[in-house]
């Protein structure tokens, strides 16, 4: 390996810190905002079960693969893939995985910043006591007021983007590790408090049933692809994020148990968010399938009825914004690490350029909720849904598919064994079947099932 490799001297201070950082990437708007609203739009239980299957059978093995590849290559995803393909005597085109990841990252961050902007705005809205004892109509009309104002949305999107780029420009390890150490546990505590509230809200049973009652007849044509896309999105997979983070992991850390911890944390947060939100939807007679506004309508309602609700509420949205920022940072890392590594550009210059690109593309998402609301150019999707679905449901699973095939069938066994702790022949076979067959085949089957009807 070359001496000038920049990531050689950047290592997470310990395995635990890496778990926190990877969980910081995984736990974000995907868990608290996206999971409940997508589950709500796709019939609840049918979606949740398929999502869980995707997380276990596809997500976990691909996360192991990404971290292993990253730690083996110790560079940006594009360079790592080029290097590993070369040393295994394979086609250099495998670096396409890295390039697709850069594109997916820009697309995801573009809308991510807009939604995170809503959360930022809500820190202040909740603190203002505006919702004290307010009913559903007040809360809904406040949210609709925000959606109707492109100027306000752009303002908050800009604040979030500037904050993200500022942190990215300063470098990942400075300060971030410390912040994650505090905010992540706080977020868990907050969710537990909210869960307690939901349990006594009178809608818990209905919420529970909505999430866990699986009925085959609820599985629609789009359920599979939505669940698969959500699994990739929530675990930050398929675009090299985990590869970059993996490149900073100390060599002695065990990948298997590390991945199990991250996946478990991420899933617990998503399921808890659902268990908080759905009971409130039913008690307040709201629409489960209302879409992206779900969290911004249900959570304030809960806080409006809780003692010290305005304080709790603004702390909640602060924590959500923080969870969003740790994820947003990880979305830029594959692109930034590549640019810094190859063009010797200053980190801050690259960061600002990338941030501007994402911001610009994000305007399309802003307008999807107001002036472009009726513009549905392809498949009846608005701009936001289109960017989201192309990145989450197509680019990420495709990236994951290629990553799984590469590690299982294109890398020498010795290299894999050097990264993943496999102690017996039986476990090797199991690993090979899951990573090399089950995971890629699942993605392929879902793709065929979704896209073939179009042709």
Q: What distance in Å separates the CA atoms of residue 17 and residue 7, rounded to the nearest whole number?
A: 17
Using DSSP's 3-state secondary structure scheme, residue 91 falls into coil
Query: Which residue, 21 or 219, is less far from ligand TRP as judged by CB?
Result: 21
What are 391's two structure tokens? 């990145």
Q: Alpha-carbon distance 394 to 446, whole Å?
A: 10
Q: Which of 239, 281, 350, 403 binds ligand TRP (CB under 6 A)?
A: 239
- Phi and psi at 201, nearest 5°, equal -75, -15
From 7, 21, 23, 31, residue interacting with ligand TRP (rule: CB under 6 A): 31
The site map against ligand TRP for 95-124 (x = CB under 6 A) is -------------x----------------
Contact 62, 240 (CB under 8 A): no
Q: How many residues does the chain have?
A: 455
Q: Is 330 in the site for ligand TRP (CB under 6 A)?
A: yes
Distance between CA 446 and CA 451 in Å, rounded? Answer: 9
With contacts defined by CB under 6 A, name the span among 72-80, 233-241, 291-299, 441-449 that binds ligand TRP: 233-241
As measured in angstroms, the least distance from the Cβ of 326 to ligand TRP is: 8
CB of 385 to ligand TRP, least distance (A): 16
CB neighbour class for 102 (10 Å; exposed up to 12, middle 13-18, buried from 19): buried
Candidate segments 16-24, 208-216, 323-331, 364-372, binder of ligand TRP by CB under 6 A: 323-331
Nearer to ligand TRP, 37 or 282 (CB): 37
CA triplet 61, 64, 65: central angle to 5 degrees? 85
Long-range contacts of 424-432 (CB under 8 A, 24+ apart): 431/61, 432/408
Which C-beta is closer to ligand TRP: that of 17 or that of 109?
Answer: 109
Site membership for ligand TRP, residue 183 (CB under 6 A): no
**In sequence order, which residues have a C-beta less than 8 Å from that of residue 443 and are 6 or more positions away?**
58, 228, 397, 398, 400, 401
Task: Give whichever of 322 and 359 is closer to ligand TRP, judged by the CB atom.
Answer: 322
Rounded CA-CA distance 321/312 in Å is 14
Q: Is 304 in the site for ligand TRP (CB under 6 A)?
A: no
Q: Which residue blocks in 344-382 are alpha helix, DSSP H? A: 347-368
Residue selected from 24, 28, 43, 293 as contacting ligand TRP according to rule CB under 6 A: 28
Rule CB under 6 A: say whether 331 interacts with ligand TRP: yes
Give the shortest CB-265-to-ligand TRP separation in angstroms.
12
**Judged by CB, which is closer to ligand TRP: 198, or 241?**
241
Cβ-proximal residues to 120 (8 Å cutoff; 6+ apart), any chain: 156, 159, 160, 317, 321
The tokens 């610009």 sit on which residue? Answer: 360
Q: Which of 7, 17, 19, 30 binds ligand TRP (CB under 6 A)?
A: 30
Cβ-based nearer residue to ligand TRP, 95 or 241: 241
Interface residue with ligand TRP among 327, 332, 389, 419 (CB under 6 A) is 327
Residue 269, interface with ligand TRP (CB under 6 A)?
A: no
Stretch of 20-28, 91-99, 201-209, 382-390 contacting ligand TRP, by CB under 6 A: 20-28
Q: Counting contacts by CB under 6 A, is residue 25 touching ligand TRP?
A: yes
Q: Using CB under 6 A, count the residues that bind ligand TRP.
A: 16
131 or 156: whose CB is closer to ligand TRP?
Answer: 156
Q: Which stretch binds ligand TRP (CB under 6 A): 22-30, 53-61, 273-281, 402-410?
A: 22-30
Contact 175, 21 (CB under 8 A): no
Chain CA centroid to CA 400, Å: 14
Long-range contacts from 344-352, C-beta under 8 angstroms, 24+ separation: 347/168, 347/169, 347/171, 348/169, 351/165, 351/168, 351/169, 352/165, 352/169
Applying CB under 6 A, which of residues 233, 278, 383, 384 lies at the interface with ligand TRP? 233
The verdict on 274 binding ligand TRP (CB under 6 A) reads no
As measured in angstroms, the least distance from the Cβ of 137 to ligand TRP is: 30
Q: What's the helix, strand, coil split of the chain in %, to 5?
A: 80, 0, 20
Residues within window 375-404 making contact with ligand TRP, judged by CB under 6 A: 396
Please list the residues that pair with 378 across neighbouring strands.
Answer: 381
List contacts with ligand TRP (CB under 6 A).
25-26, 28-31, 108, 233-234, 236, 239, 241, 327, 330-331, 396
């Amino acid at each position: 390996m070359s001496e000038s490799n920049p990531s050689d001297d950047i290592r997470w201070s310990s395995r635990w810190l890496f778990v926190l950082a990877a969980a910081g990437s995984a736990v974000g708007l995907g868990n608290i905002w996206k999971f409940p609203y997508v589950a709500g739009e796709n019939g609840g239980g049918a979606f949740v079960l398929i999502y869980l299957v995707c997380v276990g059978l596809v997500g976990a093995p691909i996360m192991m693969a990404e971290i292993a590849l990253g730690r083996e290559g110790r560079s940006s995803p594009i360079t790592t893939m080029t290097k590993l393909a070369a040393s295994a005597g394979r086609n250099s085109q495998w670096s396409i995985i890295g390039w697709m990841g850069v594109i997916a990252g820009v697309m995801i961050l573009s809308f991510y910043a807009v939604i995170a902007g809503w959360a930022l705005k809500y820190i202040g809205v909740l603190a203002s006591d505006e919702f004290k004892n307010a009913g559903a109509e007040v809360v809904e009309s406040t949210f609709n007021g925000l959606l109707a104002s492109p100027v306000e949305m752009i303002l908050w999107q800009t604040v979030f983007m500037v904050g993200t780029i500022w942190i990215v420009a300063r470098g990942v390890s400075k300060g971030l590790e410390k912040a994650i150490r505090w905010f992540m546990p706080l977020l868990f505590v907050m969710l537990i408090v909210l869960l307690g509230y939901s349990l006594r809200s009178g809608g818990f049973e209905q919420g529970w049933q909505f999430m866990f009652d699986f009925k085959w007849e609820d599985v629609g044509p789009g359920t599979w692809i939505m669940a698969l896309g959500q699994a990739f999105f929530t675990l930050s997979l398929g675009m090299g994020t985990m590869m970059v983070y993996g490149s900073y992991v100390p060599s002695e850390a065990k990948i298997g148990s590390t991945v199990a911890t991250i996946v478990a944390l991420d899933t617990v947060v998503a399921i808890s968010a659902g268990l908080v939100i759905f009971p409130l939807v039913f008690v307040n007679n709201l629409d489960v399938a209302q879409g992206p506004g779900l969290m911004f309508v249900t959570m304030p309602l809960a806080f409006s009825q809780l003692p010290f609700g305005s304080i709790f509420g603004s702390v909640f949205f602060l924590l959500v914004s923080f969870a969003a920022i740790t994820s947003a940072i990880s979305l830029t890392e594959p692109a930034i690490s590549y640019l810094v590594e190859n063009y010797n550009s200053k980190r801050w210059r690259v960061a600002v350029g990338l941030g501007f690109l994402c911001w610009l593309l994000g305007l399309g998402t802003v307008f999807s909720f107001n002036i472009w609301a009726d513009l549905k150019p392809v498949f009846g999707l608005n701009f936001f849904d289109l960017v989201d679905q192309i990145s989450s449901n197509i680019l990420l699973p495709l990236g994951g598919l290629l990553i799984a095939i590469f590690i299982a069938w294109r890398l020498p066994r010795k290299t894999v064994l050097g990264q993943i702790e496999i102690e017996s022949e039986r476990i090797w076979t199991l690993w090979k079947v899951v990573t090399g067959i089950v995971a890629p085949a699942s993605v392929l089957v879902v793709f065929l099932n979704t896209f073939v009807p179009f042709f």
